[in-house]
Amino acid sequence: MEKHNLYLLVLTILSVIILPGFGCRQTNTSGDADNIQSLVVWGLWQDSSMMEPIIKAFTDSTGVKVEYKKIASVATYEKTLLEALAQGRGPDVFVIHHTWVEGKRGIMTPAPASIIDERSAQEEFVDVVHQDLVRDGLIYLALFYNRDLLSAASVAKPPATWDEFQQVIERVTKVNRLGIIEQSGAALGTAANVNRASDMMQLLMMQSGLDIKKTAAGSRVDIANETGTRALTFFTDFSNKSKKVYTWNLQQDYSLDAFASGKTAMMVSYAYNIPVIQAKNPRLNLGIAAIPQIADSKPITFASYWPFAVSTTSRAPQTAWQFVRFLTSAAAANPLNVAQHLPPARRDSIASVQRDPLTGVFADQALLATSWPRVDIASSDAIFNTMIDDVVTGAASVEDVLRRAQDQLQALSKEDDNIQ
């Protein structure tokens, strides 16, 4: 029987969860002496000031000092991390994107069962954790809406299905005689000026029935089919002047700015953009609703997350795991979530924020979140974004861009197989 190891404990920019993983290695704790005096931790999302109370509490209880470093650039983080580890100057604990897990197990040390095991992970954290990464499992997309603009269009509540979403678009959008969009129903339909359009496209495909085939060579994602055509056409129709749902184009301001300015009624985004929007416009009458679903289908929302892993080069892997486990406790995680206006993913903490008007929706969606095994997030995002805008600009047909994107995604998977 295959042995299950826990490779990752996750402190996401949304919440704190645990990610279990497959593997057969045992944590090497020889030489992991109690006299280890310090750990080095790299992160991307939490400022040192947020981490300081947690680090102090850990140091007070263990005597182990922790040096925390927030890496400034997400774009160059992967390269910086791999170079540091290869040169022997890397951290004991580091954050990675969940899509890197399959290709980077060689740099991660699994957790000792005495610190966290699969059963504990399943009992303490939401189901997607176990379902998504116990095969080797959060940020959730939700619908941001301007209450005032919907009320002005006599829309009593935000849309719950995509059919209702289209109806709201038609009621809210205002296009003048010159064809200029004066008020957009939603920031949707293009990639170049829509924040995380690639995630939105992937969500629509998953809701439509994205087919992920498991093969001996890995996972194959089939999108050059009716499912992919339906999802891509639905998305790009919002920027198609010939459609009733036309509400957006490449001439619009960037989606976050357009929404914050009150020119756009709805957008799909993540919890971490709540403070961004509020900083841009503190008076905006912001509402958050669950992501729309396909009527009469199983609800699905999109998960993306950045877990903390323990390095194979750590001189003290067990101590490092003790620190990461400490991060996932309710006592440590809840204050971080509050400070960042983000919901928890611990089962015992979800109820405390479910009634919050902004973050409560994200907490509820923890129970619906899913993802798919992308190999390289930056390259995959670029493929989906190009696919969208090539349709929008008329550079290629829907069928052609889907076929090309599928080939490119498969090529990425093969490259990753060769690296492993």
Same domain? 11 vs 113: yes
Number of domains in the chain: 2
Range of the domain at 73: 4-138+305-360
Same domain? 382 vs 345: no
Measured CA to CA, the distance from residue 165 to residue 203 in angstroms comes to 15
Which residue, 333, 360, 387, sits at the end of a domain? 360
Residue 9 domain flag = yes
Lookup: tokens for 394: 């008329």
Under a CB-based contact definition with an 8 Å cutoff, are residues 212 and 219 in contact? yes
Residue 369 domain flag = no
Residue 344 domain flag = yes
Residue 286 domain flag = yes
CA dihedral over 38, 39, 40, 41, signed as positive or negative? negative
Cβ burial of 289 (10 Å; 0-12, 13-18, 19+) is: middle
Same domain? 41 vs 101: yes
Residue 368 domain flag = no
Residue 124 domain flag = yes
pLDDT tens by residue, the chain, 420 residues = 333 444 444 333 223 333 332 222 333 433 444 456 899 999 887 888 888 988 999 999 899 999 999 998 887 888 899 999 999 999 999 988 766 766 677 788 877 777 766 666 555 555 444 443 332 334 567 899 999 999 999 999 999 999 999 999 999 999 999 999 999 999 999 999 999 999 999 999 989 987 766 544 556 778 999 999 999 999 999 999 999 999 999 999 999 999 999 999 999 998 888 889 999 999 999 999 989 999 988 888 776 667 778 898 898 888 998 888 888 776 666 666 666 666 665 666 666 666 777 766 766 666 566 666 666 778 889 999 999 999 999 999 999 999 999 999 888 876 554 444
Same domain? 309 vs 217: no
Lookup: tokens for 297: 């289908």
Same domain? 246 vs 393: yes
Same domain? 266 vs 318: no
Residue 404 domain flag = yes
Same domain? 194 vs 219: yes
What's the whole-model pTM score? Answer: 0.73
Local structure of 125: helix, strand or coil: strand
Lookup: tokens for 240: 């198609």
Same domain? 280 vs 190: yes
- Give how far the C-alpha of residue 152 lies from the chain's centroid of Cα atoms, to the nearest Å: 33
Residue 98 domain flag = yes
Same domain? 196 vs 316: no
By C-alpha distance, which of 69, 65, 64, 73 is closest to 48?
Answer: 69
Residue 264 has φ and ψ, to the nearest 5°, of -130, 135
Same domain? 197 vs 329: no
Residue 358 is given by DSSP the state: T
Domain holding 48: CATH number? 3.40.190.10
Same domain? 32 vs 124: yes
Same domain? 215 vs 290: yes
